[in-house]
Amino acid sequence: MIDGILGLSWWQLILVVLGMTHITIVAVTVFLHRSQAHRALDLHPVLSHFFRFWLWLTTGMVTREWVGVHRRHHARCETEEDPHSPQIFGLNKVLWEGAELYRESASKQEIVERYARGTPDDWLERKVYGHFRYLGIVIMLVIDVLLFGVLGVAAWAVQMIWIPFFAAGVINGVGHYWGYRNFESPDAATNISPWGILIGGEELHNNHHAFPSSAKLSARWWEFDIGWMYIRLFSLLGLAKVRRVARKPVVDSGKSVIDMDTVKAVVVHRMHVLADYARDVIKPVTDAEFCNSEQHCRRLARQARRLLLREEATMDASSRKRLQKLLDRSQVLATVHRSRKQLQDVWERTASSQDALLASLQQWCKEAEASGIKALQDFARTLRGYYPAVG
């Protein structure tokens, strides 16, 4: 039949195909990414098996291979061993050939064996999904033709390119190249859009790299993660159980003593600590240094903030030169920049004893309060009141 069993009009077909591709996106972000790769939630076996079956039909991807490649990406982010970093391969390469980069890494058995532990290893995975990986997409083609007729071929083609382009290309490419950053994670991850709808919430990629094990990707009140909406719905239906969500530290304004609770909060919530430092110290200081009235002054202040906030390891030679020129120009900015690095040193001393970490943080606050820079002094006093979030 030319029009297929359903006999849909062109606009009805478009809506159905968009719905089908959206299910695929949800399967990738909820099942593959948040549940399997990062163990942020547990899914009911019925829902888990549905997602596995659907992904077999619409992508031909094998769970353990996807998980292995993604965990490798986090472990070696923005290095030569990163499977798909635009900082290494270039944006065009990752955007348009992201699927090829994924397949190249997935074919390396050592990556899969090392990074894909804990993924499904039952009879279906071994004998069907893994063994006949391309049979599913052939079955999907037959189903599309039967349902939609000749246009089913076009519908199938859209399904086949959806994940390779949007997940392998846009998220892995644009999501490490262009956008805004809430958190100064030690990589180039960005939030492409504050409203994560088209790609299931994966648009909030900087938030994810700051808190990889969080089931929720939105971090600001004005951000929306549709994947989290589905997870909440699945939880209400008894089909999912959230294990971890990123939480903000608690601040007690009456607490004035730096103790082990302060140290724990600073270490556990270090991404929030750096974000607070950027907002409460770097922004007011750069505004004051460059003035905050005329437009060209505000532009200079924004440029200075971007340089002060970036990890020097991710900078090219030109950016490092501009940063050094900025620090040579202003003693205040140099002090703020140095204090930020010293604060990071507190939680990077993983081998230190608790007493050593406590002494280090106490010394940092003492020096910050003696700096003569009001924003830095206020931040140090606020830091004393940090408690780790409960729950």
The predicted-structure confidence for 211-224, as pLDDT tens digits, reads as follows: 999 999 999 999 99
Task: Please state the rounded mean pLDDT for residues 6-21.
Answer: 94
The Cα–Cα gap between 240 and 47 comes to: 8
Task: Please state the rounded mean pLDDT for residues 261-275.
Answer: 91
Where does the pLDDT of residue 351 fall: very low under 50, low under 70, confident under 90, or very high at 90 and above? low
Type of residue numbered 188: A
The answer to whether the CB of 43 falls within 8 A of the CB of 35 is: yes
Where does the pLDDT of residue 52 fall: very low under 50, low under 70, confident under 90, or very high at 90 and above? very high
- Burial of 297 by CB count in 10 Å (0-12 exposed, 13-18 middle, 19+ buried)? middle
The predicted-structure confidence for 57-116, as pLDDT tens digits, reads as follows: 999 999 999 999 999 999 999 999 999 999 899 999 999 999 999 999 999 999 999 999
The Cα–Cα gap between 48 and 63 comes to: 11
The Cα–Cα gap between 139 and 259 comes to: 61
The pLDDT assigned to 293 comes to 55
The predicted-structure confidence for 16-29, as pLDDT tens digits, reads as follows: 999 999 999 999 99
With pLDDT > 70 as the criterion, what percentage of the chain qualifies?
97
pTM for this one? 0.91
Q: Residue 390 pLDDT more than 80?
A: no
Where does the pLDDT of residue 289 fall: very low under 50, low under 70, confident under 90, or very high at 90 and above? confident
Q: Between residues 325 and 189, which one has the greater pLDDT?
A: 189
Tokens encoding 48: 């888990």
Task: Please state the rounded mean pLDDT for residues 293-318.
Answer: 75
With pLDDT > 90 as the criterion, what percentage of the chain qualifies?
73
Grouping H, G, I as helix, E, B as strand and the rest as coil, residue 195 is strand
Q: Residue 353 pLDDT more than 90?
A: no
Q: Residue 225 pLDDT more than 90?
A: yes
The predicted-structure confidence for 59-75, as pLDDT tens digits, reads as follows: 999 999 999 999 999 99
DSSP 8-state class, residue 389: P
Q: Between residues 1 and 123, which one has the greater pLDDT?
A: 123
Q: Residue 303 pLDDT more than 90?
A: no
Where does the pLDDT of residue 292 fall: very low under 50, low under 70, confident under 90, or very high at 90 and above? low
The pLDDT assigned to 210 comes to 96
Delimit the domains of the chain by residue range: 10-242, 250-387
Secondary element (H or E) of residue 41: strand 41-43
Q: Residue 55 pLDDT more than 80?
A: yes
The Cα–Cα gap between 77 and 95 comes to: 17
Q: Residue 294 pLDDT more than 70?
A: no
The pLDDT assigned to 94 comes to 94
- Report phi then psi at 384, rounded to 5: -60, -25
